[in-house]
Amino acid sequence: MKFNMLFLSIILVFASCSTKDDIGTSSEFTRNVNDSSRIYTDLSGTSVTITNSVWFTSTTNSNSFGQVNLGVTGSTNADKITVMMYGDGVQSEENISLNALKSFKNDTVVISFTHFSNSILPTTEIEKSTMITAYKGSDTLRVVINSGKLRY
């Protein structure tokens, strides 16, 4: 019985995880994922719904540092939700504020940053990912979301 529940949960997660890329014509540096809600749930019932995620790149004035940023909107039934950030080998988590209805809207989280030697921006496409973690009591649900192709 547990195996059937696990298998059904995995099928439901993958069925709800489709994305539709919408790379705007005005900026090839932004990737907006906004097709429908993506719902992630574990066997303990902890869930995260992501209704919109916008990935974009930015650089410093001297183009010596590049950042991959994320704006994310959704809801959860968890007590706390965080997003993973990293750069120069250091990882950390940033809390995402929840309102009274346990919805969240975080306009910009710097997911990663990179130093560019000689102030030359890379011209290749990059892909990044981050982990959103929902904490509900002693249960933890981890959700990995991907940026898709980005450029500086």
β-strands 139-146, 129-136 pairing: antiparallel
Most confident of 33-42, 73-82, 109-118: 73-82
- The total domain count for the chain is 1
Mean pLDDT over 57-63 rounds to 79
> If you search the block for the tokens 């902890």, which residue do you land on?
46
Q: Is residue 151 part of a domain?
A: no
Rounded-to-integer distance, Cα 105 and Cα 108, Å: 9
Nearest CA to 85 among 43, 133, 53?
133
> If you search the block for the tokens 């192709």, which residue do you land on?
149
Global pTM value: 0.73
- Residue 4: what pLDDT? 42
Is the CB of residue 50 less than 8 Å from the CB of residue 130? no
Structure tokens of 147?
């940026």
- Residue 144: what pLDDT? 92
Q: Could you read off the pLDDT of 23-47 as tens digits, one per residue?
A: 333 334 555 555 457 899 999 999 9
Show the domain range for 18.
2-146
